[in-house]
Amino acid sequence: MSHDFHARRRQAVLSRIGDAVALIPTAPERVRNRDSHYPYRFDSYFWYLSGFPEPDAVIVLVGGDTPRSILFCREKNEEREIWDGFRYGPEMAAEAFAFSEAHPISSLDAKLPELLANRRALWHSLGHDAEWDRRIAAALAALRADSRSGVRAPREIHDLRGLLDSMRLIKDAHEIALMRRAAEIASAGHARAMHACRPGMAEYELEAELSYEFRRRGADGHAYAPIVAGGVNACILHYVENDKLLPAHSLVLIDAGCEVGGYASDITRSFPVDGRFTAIQREVYGIVLAAQEAAIAAVRPGASFIDYHQAALRVLTQGLVDLRLISGSVDGAIESGAYRPWYMHRTGHWLGLDVHDAGDYRADADPDAWTTLAPGMTLTVEPGLYFRPDSAVPEHLHGVGVRIEDDLLVSDDGCTVYTTAPRTIDEIEEVMRHD
């Protein structure tokens, strides 16, 4: 695979930092217990600029008149490759991933003062990793100790994440293709779980259906810990135990997405355990679906990020009035926050290399100035209503939790919904038929 697009991203960073140096380390391997590690996941910022899959690696971008794009990585090691698998090594990595040069990671600390010497500024994710803060402080101290020889340490340190966040907010064609594939696979996983569902199954059995379909179709795995929440568990927003039995005549809420090439999908579906919505389930589901459709219609270039939340909120609040949980006007209920016991989250978030992806939601320090949507932005739309058993809630609503979430790309003239898992009541009941 060509990595020219990664090289172009690095060049974009170099053009913005001027006569400065930027450091971007990848994530370390993490020990699970004893000598067993968690499955490795690279740092998203590092991956965005390199596509290099190995741990123990660092990108150093050196600006100025002759910019340099440098990778520090592990050396080739025949013995370790027998045990752990292939390593690129610096020479092969530089060519494969379009770096101007590459060096062994073991040489980084010795080379760092030289790379930083006489540079105006250092760009780094300061405060993100204490060990990296220590290493950089040591390099700066070494330069300052040598100041009598005319060597100068960088006088400024900037947070690189802000610069990269603004870049990551707009997806390019390569990213969009990966996210479409992740959405396609996740949609198939949700449809499979719906068709497999039966009363009395365990939540983890549906999780297994998702995992099978994700891996069968080539996804890297889950993009985040999946939520499979039957009955009243659907009213716990981040329920991840997934170990209870699915009660008959209840709803099950599944919030699960997969990762492809590092990019996430994020889908939520709510459906009846036994394949047919009851009257009250149908009513609540219809309110949430109408709220989602109103929100999707509000996603377009030039709109504010908050606009689609407000569109969904109006529909949800009207639904709560219709259910007689709120009295008075919709405007009054929104202003007072009377809806919040049953809808307590925003209607979406950015999506990309991270499921809650990088990028500012507010345009500046003004609390009323939200980011303006532009083509290439990707986001989720996920309204919901949650009725935990409570004396303020009629008994027929107890334990009814509904959230519907889809992934969208802001396009030139509106938006495109990536995700295709069954969404309407008719579509869900059709895929759940077992005859």
Catalytic residue among 54, 405, 406, 407, which? 405
| Residue 427 among the catalytic residues | no
Catalytic residue among 34, 238, 324, 433: 238
Alpha-carbon span 1 to 360, nearest angstrom:
31
Active-site residue, 135 included: no
Has 249 been annotated as catalytic?
no
Catalytic residue among 349, 354, 407, 418: 349
Query: In a 10 Å sphere around its CB, with 0-12 CB exposed, 13-18 middle and 19+ buried, how is residue 65 labelled?
Result: exposed
Q: Catalytic residue at 35?
A: yes
Angle between helices 279-297 and 305-322 (to 10 degrees): 150
DSSP notation for 394-424:
-GGGTTEEEE-BEEEEEETTEEEE---S--S
Q: Which residues of 190-216 are buried (b: 16+ CB within 10 A; e: fewer)?
A: bbbbbebbeeebebebbbebbbebbee
Q: Considering 282, 356, 362, 396, which one is annotated as catalytic?
A: 356
386, 407, 418, 423: which one is catalytic? 386
For residue 361, report the phi and psi dihedrals to the nearest 5 degrees: -95, -20
Could you tell me if 330 and 317 are in contact, meaning their C-beta atoms sit under 8 angstroms apart? yes
Query: Which listed residue (184, 207, 255, 406) is catalytic?
Result: 255
The active-site residue, picked from 32, 34, 35, 426, is 35
Catalytic residue from among 184, 203, 259, 266: 266
Distance from CA of residue 289 to its chain's centroid? 23
Structure token digits, residue 299 = 């996603």
Is residue 285 part of the annotated active site? The answer reads: no
Alpha carbons 37 and 114: distance in angstroms, whole number = 34
Active site residue 308: no
Quick check: is 128 catalytic? no
Q: Is 84 a residue of the active site?
A: no
Residue 88 known to be catalytic = no
Annotated catalytic residue within 345, 346, 388, 398:
345
Does 345 participate in catalysis according to the annotation?
A: yes
Q: What is the 3-state secondary structure (H, E, C) of 94-140?
A: HHHCCCCEEEEHHHHHHHHHHHHCCCCEEEECCCCCHHHHHHHHHHH
| Residue 34 annotated to the active site | no
User: Looking at the annotation, which residues are catalytic?
Assistant: 35, 238, 255, 266, 345, 349, 356, 382, 386, 403, 405
